Amino acid sequence: MGDGMKLLLVSGIMQQIVAGYLTKNADIINSAPLEVKDLLTFLEDVNPTLDGLLFTDEAFSRQEEQDKQDFIAVLNWLNKGHRQSVKIMVISRDFAKEGQFAELSQKYTSLRIFICDYVRVPRSFFEQTLEVLRKENGQSTVDSENGERTEEPEKKLRSWLINRFSKPQNKTEIKITDGLTRELENISRGISRVIAITGHRGCGLTSTVANIAYEASKRGLNSLMIDLDVEYRSINMYYGSFGEQAKRDEVIEASLIRTLARPQDYLKTAFNIKENLWMTALGYGFTDRKLLGQFYNCRKLVGLVSVLRNKFNLIILDMPMDLLPTFKEAIIHVDVFGLCVPNNLYAVLSTLRNIEVMLDKESASYLNAKSRLIVTKYNDRSRFKENIFIPEKVNELLTSGLNESFTYEMKLAGHVPFSSKFDAQIETDIPLVNTSVEHEQAYGNILLRLMEGIN
């Protein structure tokens, strides 16, 4: 069925899922996610050969006017390059979009809007849409303006995506040709984030680390997880292969200590789970208290972060709140904290109490200023004053003055839906982002918000 119809999929965080639906019906030329705000730059840089562009709601931000401008810029680019035969399809669940785009579809005849009245657009709807297009189209692939076929749009797109997180004003200077160049670009441009996941114990910290890092690696970000929770070592639960290796290999069993001691040797001392995904932790068998005392401290952590932050796009720390006193001086080296709090009153109050007990006022307000809230175990039956306890409310309550050193307004990074099947991911090496569409979306969103930083 595919017949090589070349489609560019503009679907933001839904990229993987939608691409999965369409592999039989089309050649999706990008595997990395794209949004409408970045599309023109992408088209100009990569100039891919295509038959169509497919947009879903996740391609758009909530800023309607800006989205419209960005969208029109793309339409103009297509027109300018005599690419009028390139089909533009928008599949949306939002009835208002029809009106918004009606005017445009008069001017741009190849633009079609398909409204889908479901909570989630089903696979069959995508397939039918492409079928309509195929019938209308019935013609061969349109080459780009100068007839040149772009050799490796995928590779370019990946590098391009990563560079999005660097200095946007320099974006056009970046010309990436191969993996090595890309790596050098990453290192020289220092595209990296150090993110610490914190909160009261049991609030879903480790699962957040495991899923966000996995999601990041899928999106081409070289990621390192650091499990600082040496008391419980719970990342072991999510990546069973680490535990297995640790049983056989002393270096891996003591991975965290060795990596803290000599971060520059991380290729040997950290554990490579899969392409782009690394972790360092202690195996359950490690018991040497003396070595712990020597290397498990703030100075070594700061050293590790400063050596490795240029080797990774993402360093993500599992850092329960009660470790913050030990790593107090490291707080300033963390770009953003993901503060995990479930949406129930008990969790909110014990988080604030935890902050009060663990941190002095100055550290508490630092943490506040550098945090984005992750509402974990989000349960939509949970109530606060008879209303649904929505993530925004959790946020409001946390900073409402119940703790006087914690009163800055925080931004929300997102929420993780409660799931009765949550523990199916334990010891599988396959975090939930791979098996639950809902969680893939949730953690993907949180990842993007955290990568944006606190601004």
Ligand X SMILES: Nc1ncnc2c1ncn2[C@@H]1O[C@H](COP(=O)(O)OP(=O)(O)OP(=O)(O)O)[C@@H](O)[C@H]1O
- What part of residues 398-427 is at the interface with ligand X (CB under 6 A)? 416, 418-419, 422-423
In angstroms, the CA 10 to CA 311 distance is 29
Is 447 among the residues that bind ligand X (CB under 6 A)? no
Is 431 among the residues that bind ligand X (CB under 6 A)? no
Comparing CA positions, the residue from 96, 430, 118, 437 lying closest to residue 274 is 430
Phi and psi, residue 223, nearest 5°:
-125, 140
Least gap, CB of 305 to Mg ion (angstroms) = 20
In angstroms, the CA 282 to CA 280 distance is 7
CB 317 within 8 A of CB 195: yes
Least gap, CB of 296 to ligand X (angstroms) = 17
Q: Pick the closer one to Mg ion by CB: 53 or 205.
A: 205
Residue ranges of alpha helices (H) inside 49-152 are: 64-80, 95-107, 123-137
Least gap, CB of 125 to Mg ion (angstroms) = 39
In this structure, what token pair is assigned to residue 124?
């069959």
Is 376 among the residues that bind ligand X (CB under 6 A)? yes
Is 347 among the residues that bind ligand X (CB under 6 A)? no
- What part of residues 314-343 is at the interface with ligand X (CB under 6 A)? 320
Is 350 among the residues that bind ligand X (CB under 6 A)? no
Amino acid letter, residue 439: H
Least gap, CB of 318 to Mg ion (angstroms) = 6
3-class SS of residue 119: coil
Is 143 among the residues that bind ligand X (CB under 6 A)? no
Q: Pick the closer one to ligand X by CB: 67 or 227.
A: 227
Stretch that binds ligand X, among 93-101, 156-164, 198-206, 280-288 (CB under 6 A): 198-206
Compute how many residues bind ligand X; rule: CB under 6 A.
18
Is 201 among the residues that bind ligand X (CB under 6 A)? yes
Give whole-number Cα distances, 5 to 54, 130, 140, 154, 258, in Å: 12, 10, 8, 16, 51
Least gap, CB of 334 to Mg ion (angstroms) = 17
Amino acid letter, residue 354: N
Least gap, CB of 199 to ligand X (angstroms) = 7
Q: Binding residue for ligand X (CB under 6 A) from 258, 300, 377, 449?
A: 377
Phi and psi, residue 317, nearest 5°:
-105, 135
Least gap, CB of 391 to ligand X (angstroms) = 13
Is 207 among the residues that bind ligand X (CB under 6 A)? yes
Q: Pick the closer one to ligand X by CB: 2 or 417.
A: 417
Phi-psi category of residue 61: left, alpha or beta, with phi > 0 → left and psi -120 to 50 → alpha: beta
In angstroms, the CA 420 to CA 294 distance is 41
The site partner of 376 among ligand X, Mg ion, none (C-beta below 5 to 8 Å per kind) is: ligand X
Is 225 among the residues that bind ligand X (CB under 6 A)? no
Can you give the binding site for Mg ion, defined by CB under 5 A? 205-206, 234
In angstroms, the CA 96 to CA 79 distance is 25
Query: What letter would DSSP give residue 328?
Result: G
Q: Pick the closer one to Mg ion by CB: 261 or 292.
A: 292
CB 306 within 8 A of CB 253: no
Applying CB under 6 A, which residues contact ligand X? 201-207, 229, 232, 234, 320, 376-377, 416, 418-419, 422-423
